[in-house]
């Protein structure tokens, strides 16, 4: 991480905090930004999330911040509190800005820490999967009338499967990390799955464009510590135009399995029926007033294509020598690829079963 606490506190002091900042420690499990838990005050302690944005991934940090401000402002008027939701709040700098730019050109931002909540690495039971599905579903439902064209594109082609395929092809061709020989079996498995992106591309035009979250993994939900209810959706960096299918898909990817994203033991990437059932019920209930027939009929295809893309993204990064995702050990991106291919295999095996579950709602 690099920065000393004193340096972090100096950065923190640029924001409108309650009292003096006195502690700032690394926090969370994100792969992209540097995230810290910041504390200030004296007797009345206040807590915040301080983040240094990854500007290699988000090349226009102003656009990211602008999108988040607009979305949060809109959500404030959408009655979330009546349903027990507590949305993020950004803390401005002393100059009234949503980000502080330090001497090296780094972008820093700050949010209120939402107290009495926890994040989960995994859904442990169908109730948690239900709550997660409900939270992201409700997020999309609250934003149903926000014109997605009003948002900046923070990462172009983020959910464009053809572009992801091209990125992989380019990494194969150039082989920057000198790892191409090693991944022939994975490349073959990916080639054999080509029907999934083809099908998705065929229907994409017919799907309504919506404001979607685009990073609906389980760690991006805050659960109430006491009641276990989902009460906040976080990480709004990639909120932009998208499809409901891929938001549902990223939940299937992360809510229905027991292991971490780099687990390679088959038991850990098996998509579980009970967890899928909880997620499907929570999500379909929350979006019941907005979901169209074509979206409903293709939710499972959304899951397949998101997991397919995630496998490609991890493998591309492995071939590129780990440029994009943070890694804790050298082969992690390969393990992540194997994990995604395993999750996808399991999902395809259970397609009939899961379709049956969705048809009930």
Q: Is 235 in the site for Mg ion (CB under 5 A)?
A: yes
| Positive/negative CA dihedral, 198, 202, 203, 208 | positive
Number of residues that bind ligand GN1 (CB under 6 A): 10
Whole-number minimum distance, CB 142 to ligand GN1, in Å?
21
What is the distance of C-alpha 197 from the center of its chain? 20
Of 18, 22, 17, 20, the residue nearest 6 (C-alpha): 22
Report yes or no: 278 and 127 within 8 Å, Cβ to Cβ: yes
Strands 230-233 and 221-224: antiparallel
CA distance 246 to 250: 6
DSSP bridge pairs for 26: 36
Q: Is 235 in the site for ligand GN1 (CB under 6 A)?
A: yes
CA distance 68 to 93: 16
| Positive/negative CA dihedral, 2, 120, 234, 229 | negative
Choosing from 34, 87, 215, 295, the residue that interacts with ligand GN1 (CB under 6 A) is 215
Given ligand GN1, Mg ion, none, residue 322, with its beta carbon under 5 to 8 Å by kind, binds none
Whichever of 196 and 234 has its CB closer to Mg ion, that residue is 234
Whole-number minimum distance, CB 235 to ligand GN1, in Å?
5
CA distance 269 to 258: 7
Whole-number minimum distance, CB 10 to ligand GN1, in Å?
26
Whole-number minimum distance, CB 328 to ligand GN1, in Å?
13
Cβ-proximal residue to ligand GN1, closest one: 31
Q: Which residues inside 284-323 make contact with ligand GN1, applying CB under 6 A?
A: 310
Q: Which residues neighbour 66 within 8 Å (Cβ) at sequence distance 6 or greater?
A: 98, 152
- Tokens 């790892």 — which residue? 179
- Tokens 């490609």 — which residue? 312
Whichever of 87 and 262 has its CB closer to ligand GN1, that residue is 262
For residue 85, give Cα distances in angstroms to 33, 68, 161, 162, 236: 25, 17, 33, 36, 15
Choosing from 34, 261, 262, 322, the residue that interacts with ligand GN1 (CB under 6 A) is 261
Q: Is 186 in the site for Mg ion (CB under 5 A)?
A: no
CA distance 246 to 19: 42
Given ligand GN1, Mg ion, none, residue 247, with its beta carbon under 5 to 8 Å by kind, binds none
Whichever of 255 and 354 has its CB closer to Mg ion, that residue is 255
Choosing from 238, 304, 332, 337, the residue that interacts with ligand GN1 (CB under 6 A) is 238
Q: Which helix (H) or strand (E) holds 284?
A: helix 273-286
Whole-number minimum distance, CB 242 to Mg ion, in Å?
14
Q: Is 332 in the site for ligand GN1 (CB under 6 A)?
A: no
Choosing from 32, 68, 171, 183, the residue that interacts with ligand GN1 (CB under 6 A) is 32
Q: CA dihedral defined by 337, 338, 342, 348, rounded to 10 degrees?
A: 50
Q: Is 59 in the site for ligand GN1 (CB under 6 A)?
A: no
Q: Which residue stretch of 19-27, 30-38, 172-180, 223-231 sits at the interface with ligand GN1 (rule: CB under 6 A)? A: 30-38
Given Mg ion, ligand GN1, none, residue 57, with its beta carbon under 5 to 8 Å by kind, binds ligand GN1
Task: Catalog residues that contact ligand GN1 under the rule CB under 6 A.
Answer: 30-32, 57, 215, 217, 235, 238, 261, 310
Task: Catalog residues that contact Mg ion under the rule CB under 5 A.
Answer: 215, 235
């Amino acid at each position: 991480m690099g920065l000393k606490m004193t340096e972090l506190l100096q950065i923190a002091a640029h924001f409108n905090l309650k009292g003096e900042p006195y502690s700032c420690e690394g926090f969370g499990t994100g792969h992209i930004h540097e995230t810290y838990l910041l504390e200030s005050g004296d007797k009345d302690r206040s807590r915040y999330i301080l983040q240094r944005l990854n500007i290699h991934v988000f090349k226009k940090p102003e656009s990211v911040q602008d999108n988040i401000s607009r979305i949060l402002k809109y959500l404030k008027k959408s009655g979330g509190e009546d349903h027990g939701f507590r949305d993020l709040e950004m803390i401005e700098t002393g100059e009234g800005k949503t980000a502080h730019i330090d001497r090296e050109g780094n972008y820093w931002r700050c949010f209120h820490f939402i107290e009495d909540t926890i994040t989960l690495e995994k859904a442990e039971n169908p109730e948690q999967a239900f709550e997660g599905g409900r939270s992201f579903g409700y997020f999309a439902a609250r934003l149903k009338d926000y014109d997605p064209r009003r948002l900046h594109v923070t990462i172009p082609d983020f959910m464009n499967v053809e572009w992801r395929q091209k990125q992989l092809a380019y990494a194969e061709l150039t082989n920057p990390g000198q790892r191409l020989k090693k991944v022939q079996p994975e490349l073959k498995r990916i080639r054999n799955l080509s029907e999934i992106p083809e099908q998705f591309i065929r229907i994409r035009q017919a799907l309504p464009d919506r404001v979607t979250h685009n990073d609906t993994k389980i760690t991006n939900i805050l659960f109430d510590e006491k009641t276990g209810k989902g009460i906040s959706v976080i990480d709004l960096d990639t909120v932009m135009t998208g499809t409901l299918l891929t938001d549902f898909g990223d939940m299937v990817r992360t809510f229905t399995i027991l292991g971490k994203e780099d687990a390679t033991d088959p038991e850990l990437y098996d998509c579980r029926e009970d967890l899928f059932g909880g997620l499907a019920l929570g999500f379909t209930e929350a979006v019941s007033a907005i979901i169209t027939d074509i979206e409903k009929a293709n939710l499972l295809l959304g899951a397949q294509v998101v997991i397919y893309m995630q496998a490609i993204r991890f493998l591309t990064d492995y071939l590129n020598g780990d440029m994009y995702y943070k890694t804790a050990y050298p082969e992690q991106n390969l393990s992540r690829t194997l994990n995604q291919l395993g999750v996808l295999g399991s999902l395809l095996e259970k397609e009939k079963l899961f379709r049956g579950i969705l048809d009930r709602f």
